Structure 1
Amino acid sequence: MPLLGFGVYQNFDAKPSVLEAFKAGYRHVDSAQVYRNEPAVGEAIKESGLDRKELFITTKCLSKPPKKTTIEDGGAKDIKEGVRTSLVNLFGLDKNGELDKEAYIDLFLIHDPLSGRERRLAIYKALQDAKEAGQIRSVGVSNFGVKHLEELKEGGFAEKMPAVNQIELHPLCQQKPIVDYCKANSIVVQAYCPIIRGQMDIPAVQKIAKDHKRDPAQILLRWSLQKGYVPLPKSATPSRIHSNAQLYDFELNEKEMSELDALDSERGAISWNPVNAD
């Protein structure tokens, strides 16, 4: 998994942005069924001419079932259909109307924990089944708190814990208990909203950016990388897409990292962040 991803949340016409991201060196794209831009991402993948093996493609499914789904079937049917739909959206069909042999999703996440324990476990099993079928390379979760992760372990998946937990993560919202749990259980932490949706008028961030002659977004992303996270910045502006990827020729020192660490706040989340759902 590339350590820097390209997010496409609220980017409905994502094709130009994804193509620009590929030019800037990104090879990791983070989409979701609810973003309604999987087909646009798929068009960019095809038009880029990049080898499929160079790319790392993520998508996600919401946890609440469609109205027609019954929990009696474990929710497996709608998840199976959803995985196939994502594969078609992202990679299309061959001339015989079948999924291409290179049609697989590198990482498929449960987007949220909002459906309750029984449904969460059913979805997780269905995604594991899709992995065994070769449609998915890795299964993960998003917005899962420690309770939800423990639930998977206790629900029979101790040997198949999520590869990834994608959560809101930046200096103002560090979610340390979740991060600590993930590190202790070899779960990769992906950081969404890593540049705080552009809300970077923070004295400590501004000062560090000035000292390094960098923009604030680069400081926040560098903090995320040095913490061991996989940040997923999003932008539709070509210049920002490129600058957000220019992170590997400087480093924050211990004092600067400590100053950013000190910004953590219980009220620092700026997104839905449903990590405490029942």
Structure 2
Amino acid sequence: MSTKVPPIILNNGVEMPQLGFGVWQVPDDEAERAVATALEAGYRSIDTAAAYGNEEGTGRAIAASGVPREELFVTTKLWNDDHGYDATLRAFDTSMTKLGLDYLDLYLIHWPAPKQDNYVDTYKAFEKLHSDGRIKAIGVSNFLPEHLERLIGETSVIPAVDQIEVHPHLQQHAAREYNAEQGIATEAWSPLGSGKGILEVPAIVAVAQKHNRTPAQIVLRWHLQLGNVVIPKSVTPSRIRENIDVFDFSLDTEDLAAISALNEDRRTGPDPAKFG
């Protein structure tokens, strides 16, 4: 099956598929199988992180896939324990060895960890890796506008991406608006929320029935139409295929309004102002 996922153009001209495959909470051996299935299904963007403990399995699947490296977009993230300039350079080398790659498409600071107060130095190491040609684009994850403002003020490369928790119960209007004003792409983690909750909300079930789609497909389509980059995770082959099959229908104004009305500003993950 080949599915054409449209790219978005990042602020440095690099193309990133708007829909990718995430491997959060997937054990290393399972990640290998899941990533292999995703690549077969047509995904070309894979999102992992040092903290997930599955960079090796992800790397093995990429190596075995036969997909040319230049067709892939691989993201990993730096964990909180490795903040600081020198520690970042070491952590990057470790991740690259595990992934078995010569260069990375996108490297993200996983959390701002404001109590450590070290994300600016960390990002300066990212800038060095970027200028050395080892990373195509650099960005952040879970950064609030206040963290981004400081980062932009004290460094020279505006982050290409801010990966934050976004789903119908946490729509992040202010953060998405700030990112858009700065030319930063918003990437949604946990795009379907946590557990089955969002997929059982009557408003979403109704839109799914109207379009003869699954609730997950409706929520992913909502993200895409908002302009978010989205990285759904699944280890079930049928769902992996279903989640990328969202480019041949559109939600209308009424559908979008019904989903917009579901915002509760409810996080499932930690608060970036306090975590780390």
Question: Structure 2-normalised TM-score?
Answer: 0.90
What residue number does 1:49 align with?
66
Whichever of the two has the greater Rg, that structure is 1
Identify if the C-alpha distance between structure 1 residues 85 and 6 changes in structure 2 by more than 3 Å, giving closer, same or farther: same
Confirm whether residue 9 of structure 1 aligns to residue 8 of structure 2: no
Match of 1:137, SS?
Answer: strand
**Mapping for residues 97-246 of structure 1, pairs under 5 Å:** 103-116=102-115, 118-155=117-154, 157=155, 159-197=156-194, 198-199=196-197, 200-246=199-245
Which consecutive segments of 4 or more residues in structure 1 shift more than 4 A?
Answer: 275-278
**Structure 1 Cα separation of the partners of residues 52 and 22 of structure 2:** 10
Identify if the C-alpha distance between structure 1 residues 242 and 204 changes in structure 2 by more than 3 Å, giving closer, same or farther: same
Please tell me whether the aligned partners of residues 143 and 275 of structure 1 are also in contact (alpha carbons under 8 angstroms): no
**Structure 2 Cα separation of the partners of residues 133 and 182 of structure 1:** 26
Deviation of the 1:196 alpha carbon: 1.2
CA deviations on 1:100-119 (whole Å, 9 max, x unpaired) are: xxx10100000001144740
Deviation of the 1:90 alpha carbon: 0.8
**Structure 2 Cα separation of the partners of residues 260 and 119 of structure 1:** 38
Question: Structure 1-normalised TM-score?
Answer: 0.89
CA deviations on 1:190-240 (whole Å, 9 max, x unpaired) are: 001111133211010010001111100000000000000011100000000
Identify if the C-alpha distance between structure 1 residues 39 and 276 changes in structure 2 by more than 3 Å, giving closer, same or farther: same
What residue number does 1:72 align with?
none
What residue number does 1:271 align with?
269
Identify if the C-alpha distance between structure 1 residues 183 and 269 changes in structure 2 by more than 3 Å, giving closer, same or farther: same
Please tell me whether the aligned partners of residues 113 and 274 of structure 2 are also in contact (alpha carbons under 8 angstroms): no
**Structure 2 Cα separation of the partners of residues 224 and 195 of structure 1:** 10
**Mapping for residues 23-62 of structure 1, pairs under 5 Å:** 23-62=40-79
**Structure 1 Cα separation of the partners of residues 275 and 268 of structure 2:** 17
Gaps of 5+ in 2: 1-15
**Structure 2 Cα separation of the partners of residues 218 and 168 of structure 1:** 18
Match of 1:196, SS?
Answer: coil
Match of 2:269, SS?
Answer: coil
Please tell me whether the aligned partners of residues 114 and 273 of structure 2 are also in contact (alpha carbons under 8 angstroms): no
Amino acid at match of 1:190: E
Amino acid at match of 1:139: I
Please tell me whether the aligned partners of residues 113 and 144 of structure 1 are also in contact (alpha carbons under 8 angstroms): yes
Deviation of the 1:137 alpha carbon: 1.0
What residue number does 1:71 align with?
none
**Structure 1 Cα separation of the partners of residues 67 and 255 of structure 2:** 38
Gaps of 5+ in 1: 67-74, 93-102
**Structure 2 Cα separation of the partners of residues 118 and 252 of structure 1:** 42
Please tell me whether the aligned partners of residues 63 and 119 of structure 1 are also in contact (alpha carbons under 8 angstroms): no
| Residue-pair matches, total | 257
Q: Percent identity?
A: 40
Amino acid at match of 1:247: V
**Structure 2 Cα separation of the partners of residues 42 and 252 of structure 1:** 36
Confirm whether residue 89 of structure 1 aligns to residue 86 of structure 2: no
CA deviations on 1:38-64 (whole Å, 9 max, x unpaired) are: 000000010001100000000001234
Identify if the C-alpha distance between structure 1 residues 275 and 227 changes in structure 2 by more than 3 Å, giving closer, same or farther: farther
CA deviations on 1:99-151 (whole Å, 9 max, x unpaired) are: xxxx1010000000114474010100011111111211111000000100001
